[in-house]
Amino acid sequence: MEICGSRGGRSDLVPYRIWHYITGGLNFGPASLVLYLVGAWAAYLVLLVFYRLYLHPLRRFPGPKMAAVTVYYAGYWDLHMSGQMVRHLADLHKKYG
């Protein structure tokens, strides 16, 4: 009994149609999809760093590049360095103006 016909020996069930729609008709499995998503995420991070360092309107202001790249810079100084962010900011103002 055919539900909606067949394609290459596979019955045309709803999960197959959904997978075919997600992958755009390409023939790769879930492991390749995960690898593709990890690669896309890594490319996003590289482009985000490039944007923040070279294209962002605040790029001309002096300061540590790590603070420009990530939002975790202040959290590192506040949490990991036992609340030394205020002292660190004073040092940064002395160094960068």
Same domain, 16 and 48: yes
Residue 97 domain boundaries: 61-97
How does the average pLDDT of the chain come out, rounded?
Answer: 84
- 83 and 39 together in one domain: no
Please tell me whether the overall predicted TM-score, pTM, comes out greater than 0.75 for this model. Answer: no
Number of domains in the chain: 2
One domain for residues 5 and 50: yes
State the distance between the two ends of the chain, measured CA to CA, in whole angstroms: 78
pLDDT the model gives residue 10? 56
Do 4 and 48 sit in the same domain of this protein?
yes
Co-location of 5 and 49 in the same domain: yes
pLDDT at 11 over 90: no
Instruction: Give pLDDT, residue 7.
Output: 55
What digits encode the pLDDT tens for the residues 39-75?
A: 999 999 999 999 999 999 999 999 999 999 998 999 9
* Same domain as 72, residue 52: no
